[in-house]
Amino acid sequence: MKKYILVLLTVLIAGVTQAQVLEPVKWSYASKRISSTEAVVLIKATLDKGWHIYSQNVADGGPVATSFSFAPSKAYSLVGKTIEPKPVAKYEKAFKMNVSYFDNSVVFQQRIKIKAGQPVVKGTLEFMACNDEKCLPPDEVSFSIPVK
């Protein structure tokens, strides 16, 4: 009987532990050629209801801004900075300041100049997700986006 109780407790604890892993942001990627020598890389965040991520432009003392780091490549070069749509600006008590953020979904765009063939744009992005009750620790995600 003790074995059955021990097994049941182990299963319950494992279930609770897995249920606590929060991943409110899903990332997806695409690219679009705009000419024979240029393309736009699209990086989309889809957020669970009630969650948001922050703009690339956040004042000091605020949350971790979303940022992008692109790996150097001989196949392409970056044209300008990564652009974002207009964010929501709102005062957040947790940071005691106005912050700019995105909820629901957001698409970031990076223009590239193609130097050779069909490049693959690689890099990492960093972001921080919050809701009205809590913030998750900043997270880093690697990406690899083929440009066809």
Alpha-carbon gap, residue 96 to 105, rounded angstroms: 25
Give the model's pLDDT for residue 10: 41
Give the model's pLDDT for residue 4: 40
Across the range 60-87, mean pLDDT stands at 97
Q: Which residues contact 145 (CB under 8 A, 6 or more apart)?
A: 29, 30, 31, 41, 43, 120, 121, 122
Q: What is the CATH number of domain 24-146?
A: 2.60.40.1250
- Domain spans of the chain? 24-146
Residues 105-137 have pLDDT tens digits of 999 999 999 999 999 999 999 999 999 999 999
Give the model's pLDDT for residue 19: 54
Residues 25-39 have pLDDT tens digits of 999 999 999 999 999
Q: Edge to edge, what strands does the sheet with 88-92 contain?
A: 88-92, 97-103, 52-54, 129-130
Q: Which residues contact 20 (CB under 8 A, 6 or more apart)?
A: none
Alpha-carbon gap, residue 20 to 3, rounded angstroms: 26
* Among the ranges given (33-37, 63-67, 90-94, 97-101), the one the predictor scored with the smallest mean pLDDT: 90-94
Q: Which single residue is written with the structure tokens 């956040």?
A: 58
pLDDT tier for residue 77 given thresholds of 50, 70 and 90: very high
Per the prediction, the chain carries an average pLDDT of 89
